[in-house]
Amino acid sequence: MEYHIDDIDKAADFVIASAKVNTLLFTAPMGRGKTTLIKAICKQLGVVDAITSPTFSIVNEYQGSHNLIYHFDLYRLNSIDELHDMGAEDYFDSPAFKLVEWPQLAMTIIGDYQEVEIDVLSDYKREVRVSATVYR
């Protein structure tokens, strides 16, 4: 789906409607709009609190209208041991909706998931794609 930055809510609706499992992995290079899209998704899911990037906290927890939401940014982690130390298995085993930026390090502990890819088409235009479910 192509979208203009001003229509980020439509892109968020598309991602939510395409989600067949509760873990979405956002795979895009730095600066493509992963966090911006995740913020819009959280708002669409009913989060009323301030939504911030978990770059330094690694994971932020939000209460949506119908479910708990975990937003991960694993960019700063260097090893799977760091994930184990923070109790990541408990997060990934929970029924909460999980939105994961930079998921590569966590692939061995993530269950079923879908990938959300973002491509830059121009300064203000993006394309978002949601993959089929990967069952594990």
Write the CA distances from 124 to 52, 56, 87, integer angstroms.
21, 27, 38
**Could you read off the pLDDT of 53-97 as tens digits, one per residue?**
998 899 999 999 999 999 999 999 999 999 999 999 999 999 999
Domains defined along the chain, listed by start: 2-130 (3.40.50.300)
Neighbours of 66 (CB within 10 A): 8
User: Model's pTM, two decimal places?
Assistant: 0.95
Residues paired with residue 115 on neighbouring β-strands, in sequence order: 25
